[in-house]
Structure formats: structure tokens, C-alpha cells
Amino acid sequence: MKIELTGISKIYKNGNAALKDFTLEIESGMLGLLGPNGAGKTTLMKILSTLMTPSSGGVKVDGLDIIKDREKIRKMIGYLPQDFGNFPKLRAWEFLDYSAALTGIVNKKKRRDEVDRMLEMVGLYKFRDRFAKKLSGGMKRRLGIAQALIGDPKIVIVDEPTTGLDPEERIRFRNILSDMSSDERIIILSTHIVGDISSTCGKMALLNKGELKFKGKPEELVSLAKGHVFKIKAFESDLNEIKERYPVISSVPSDDGWDVEVVADKIETYSYEELEPNLEHAYMYFVEFILENKFSAVG
């Protein structure tokens, strides 16, 4: 499986350019799309899920053109949109059944089996007869992924699936995604939550202002941040100044003041220790320094 995006731009009617000459090749496996709000993630997802056409550039899925061969490509796609929660008045199983029918499973028995399998998988079997509207936020999202995965699609596009979920549901959701990962399938997960990527994705791409800024393994991004993550031992009185000077990742009260984690080129004035960066640190560093042109772009 391969998706090739070549020089995609999307300019909205109001002149807003959501994507600018965006080129990316996506291979089987799970790709995490990371970027701040407004980076163009959702636009990209909508283009990939045939809901939108790019203003220019092309998308090929295994050699198929996303515009000309829309019908064939749609057969390959499972999609979970960003705000997923408003259902028509259908029960959980009915919603899945409807989705299954739309993917082309016309045999009733086969469809029921498939629906039950998906319900089991996402842990909603118990709630199959409940109206989809009445499910909790996490359950709705699980139902969402179930409908995206029904019919065994080759490409699964998941847009910001964990936003607004409590940590437990979030982990549960990530696990479902990880389970679905396989060599014959492309899963594209867009998120602004770094944890989603670090726990599930083998590859990631970083978007900002409609442009691709990084593509690679999460570890590669982490290694870029090496030597740029520090923990400052700060007094209460310094706290505000530190926050002004450095992008702060976290600040935790300690016995004698505050432990403040920051990303920076180097630390002056304050006592600090260097930390081993994780993906979150790396993302912060990347966004704050590389994208803001405090350093020359990397990758």
C-alpha cells in the first residue's frame, strides 16, 4: 500500500491556504500526523478521505487517482472524522449495520457477524442496543472507529480521535488502533496530542501552517531535541521570568521551589540539569525553535 501526495495545495474561498505544496509518501503502517491547531491536518484528512478536492497537486493511492478513481478509493477507506458524536436516531448496532451495508456487505447474515465482531472488538457489545446518541464520549469514539474499520478498509483515516477523552478512554482507544495496525493497511492518525503518536505510531509527519516540516520515525524527532531539554531548579520568584524566557513544558513544585522543564538552546542564570528528551519534549522543541526559525530547519 502506498499513498503519494504530490504538491498538494488547498486554498479556501476566503483565501486561506490550508495546505501549501504538500508532498508526502505514506506507506503501510501507522502514520501519526502531528501539528498545532490550524496546521492543515484536518484539510489533509478530508482530501485523503475524498470529502474535499485539493486546489492543486495530486493524490495517488496505489497508483489510483483520488479524483478520477474516487469510487474505487472510497471502497478502500474507513474514516473517523474529528468531531464525531452527533448521530441520527439509531442504535449502536444499527449504525454499524448501516455503515457495513454502505461498504457493500449486502448479505444480511454476513453483515450481522461483522457488526458483532466489531462491537466485540471495541468493547461495545454490551451496549449494542443503546441509541448511539446515548453512549458516553469514549464509547461514541469507539463506535466511530468501529464504523471506520468495518468492511476491513485498506486505508483508515482517523482525525483527532482522542481529543476530549479521559486518560483511561484515551489509552483504550490507542490500544484499539495499535491492534488494527498491519502491513497491508495504512492508518493515518492526526492529532495534536503527542502521546497518541508516541504510543502507537511507527512513523510520523509534522505539519505546520500547511507545510510538511518533518517526516520520519518519532525517535528521529526525539534525537533532534537532544541537549535542548532542561530541568531548572527555580525559586518561586523566578518562575514568571523563566516562563517568559523559555517555552515551559511543565512546572512542578519541589521542596525548595519549583522544578521547571523547558526547551532551550542553553540555559543561563539558573541552575539546571539536562534531561533525556521524550517525544513531547521533541515536539515542543521542534515547534518552538525550529518552526519559529530560531534555528535553521532540520529534516
Stretch that binds another protein, among 14-22, 82-90, 197-205, 240-248 (CB under 8 A): 82-90
With contacts defined by CB under 8 A, name the span among 75-83, 166-174, 191-199, 256-264 that binds another protein: 75-83
Kindly state whether residue 147 participates in binding another protein, applying the rule CB under 8 A.
Answer: yes
Q: What's the 3-state SS for the chain?
A: CEEEEEEEEEECCCCCEEEEEEEEEEECEEEEEECCCCCCHHHHHHHHCCCCCCCEEEEEECCEECCCCHHHHHHHEEEECCCCCCCCCCEHHHHHHHHHHHCCCCCHHHHHHHHHHHHHHCCCHHHCCCEHHHCCHHHHHHHHHHHHHCCCCCEEEEECCCCCCCHHHHHHHHHHHHHHCCCCCEEEEEECCHHHHHHHCCEEEEEECCEEEEEECHHHHHHHCCCCEEEEEECHHHHHHHHHHCCEEEEEEECCEEEEEEECCCCCCCEEEECCCCHHHHHHHHHHHHCCCCCCCCC
Query: Any contact of residue 299 with another protein (CB under 8 A)?
Result: no
| Closest separation in Å from C-beta 108 to another protein | 10
CB of 249 to another protein, least distance (A): 32
Which residues between 166 and 205 bind another protein (CB under 8 A)?
none
Is residue 138 within the footprint of another protein (CB under 8 A)?
no
In angstroms, give the least distance from the CB of 168 to another protein.
24
42 binds another protein (CB under 8 A): no
| Closer by beta carbon to another protein, 28 or else 99 | 99
Closer to another protein at the Cβ: 133 or 245?
A: 133
Q: Is 129 in the site for another protein (CB under 8 A)?
A: no
Please give the residue ranges that form the binding site for another protein (CB under 8 A).
Answer: 49-53, 70-72, 74-75, 77, 79-90, 94-95, 98-99, 101-104, 106, 144, 147-148
